[in-house]
Amino acid sequence: MADWTRSGSVGGITVTETPEATVAHLWGEIDDALRQQAGTVLARALDRNLPVVLDTGRVEFIDSAGIAFLIQLCTIGREEGLTVTLQDPPPVVSEVIEILGLTELFGGPTSVTA
């Protein structure tokens, strides 16, 4: 199992690679400051060709860049035949998804598979 962490000053993405999946743990403030990390996570997830789990349980804030990352990973993952699961999003994430009319894209506001 590989585990690596990169973080901004108030948020970050920790990725755990297991034989079964790539798990991206998003925490704190998910915004444009994490763009490079998000791109790295996306590339790594696609390279592994395994299911992807987006653990957003510790997200405290998410802006349009953060939502764009979730949409991009979900959409590209689906196109590549990967299962992408948004795991237990807190209200700060699920409410933004609902307000933007993206609930159907993610399959539901609390636990979704794409």
Here the CATH number for the domain that contains residue 80 is: 3.30.750.24
Residue 107: what pLDDT?
A: 65
Q: pTM value?
A: 0.80
Give the mean pLDDT of 26-54.
Answer: 89
Half-sphere exposure of 17 (CA within 13 A, CB side): 14
pLDDT tens-place string over residues 52-111: 999 999 999 999 999 999 999 899 988 999 988 888 899 999 999 999 999 888 765 444
**Structure tokens given for 6:** 């990169």
Residue 61: what pLDDT?
A: 95
Considering only residues 26 and 46, tell me which one the structure prediction assigns the higher pLDDT: 26
Q: Which domain, by its residues, includes 83? A: 2-113
Residue 112: what pLDDT?
A: 40
Q: Distances from the Cα of 114 to the Cαs of 2, 28, 60, 90, in angstroms? A: 24, 24, 23, 18
Number of domains in the chain: 1
Dist. CA 100–CA 43, nearest whole Å = 26
Element (H, E) at 67: helix 64-79
